[in-house]
Structure 1
Amino acid sequence: MHSPVVAMAITSASGPHVVLTLTGELHTGRLQELEELLADPRLHEAQEWVLEMASVRRLDLACAYALLRAATRRPQLDALTFRGATRPVQRSLRDAGLGAVGTIEP
C-alpha cells in the first residue's frame, strides 16, 4: 500500500531560515491545511522563507493569497523566495502580488 503524498511541510528550520516544501495541487480544498502550516511557530521566528515549489502542479489564487497574507503579516521576514515553480504556478504567484514581496525563481 502506498502512503499518501505529503502536500506541504516544513522540511528545514534552522534559526532564521525555513524551507517549506509544497507538492501536488494547492486549491481551496487544501486552503485550511496550508493556513495551518503557515501558522507554525517556526515561521513566526524566521527571517527568511524558501518555498520549494517544483512539485506543485497547480496553485489557485485562494492559496496564493494565503501565502501573501502570511508573508506580509511577518515584519521580521527579510527574504521570501519561491523556487522551482512552473510557469502556471509562477503566474498565480504574480497574480496574487507575491512578486512584489518575494523573489520568484524558475
Structure 2
Amino acid sequence: MAADHPSTPPAGPVMAVSAPENRPAELVLVGQIGTESLRELEQRLDAPSLREATEWFVDMSGVTRFDLACAYALLRAATLRPKPATLTIHGARRAVQRMLRHAGLDAVAVIEE
C-alpha cells in the first residue's frame, strides 16, 4: 500500500481557527467552500476563540470557491453578537470577493487583496 504524497491537496475544504495571544483571532479557509461544507463552517465560526474575539483575521488566499450561503454565515457570525467583531479578510480571489460583497461583507469588513 503506497503512502500519501505530502504535497497531495486535501480532499475537501480546510477550515482552521486559532487565537494567537495579543493578536486577532484567525480563521484560515482553503479549497472549495460551498453549501456542502456550510454546517462545518458554521461550527468553526461558533468556536469560543472567535466568539470571544473582537477582531478577526480571515485568510482566504487558498479559497477557490466560496458559496453565497457561506458568505452570509460569515456575515451573521461577525455581526449577530453583543459586540460585532472587526473583520479583515485577506487574499480572496476576485470571484470570492464578488461573493463577499454580494452578501454585504464589505460593509462590515476590510477586504484586502
The normalised TM-score by structure 1 is 0.90
Aligned-pair CA distance for 1:78: 4.4
More strand, by proportion: 1
Range moving further from structure 2, 73-82 or 87-96: 73-82
Please state if 1:71 is matched with 2:74: no
- Contact 1:27–1:58 (CA<8 Å) still a contact in 2? yes
Aligned match of 1:91: 98
Instruction: Tell me the matched-pair count.
Output: 106
Query: Which residue of 21, 26, 42 maps to 1:14?
Result: 21
CA distance in 1, matches of 2:84, 2:20: 14
- Tell me the distance in 1 between the aligned counterparts of 2:103 and 2:85: 19
Read off the aligned partner of 2:32 and give its amino acid letter: E
Match of 2:44 among 37, 49, 60: 37
Larger radius of gyration: 2
Q: Which runs of 4+ in 1 moved over 6 A?
A: none
TM-score w.r.t. length of structure 2:
0.85
Does 1:47 pair with 2:54?
A: yes
Unaligned segments of structure 1, at least 5 residues: none
Three-state SS of the structure 2 residue aligned to 1:13 is: coil
Root mean square deviation of aligned Cα: 1.8
Q: Secondary structure at the match of 1:81?
A: strand
> How far did residue 99 of structure 1 move?
0.2
C-alpha distance after superposition, 1:4-45 (max 9, x if no partner): 636110144325620110000010000000000011011111
The question of whether the paired residues in 1 share the 8 Å contact of 2:78 and 2:85 is answered with: no
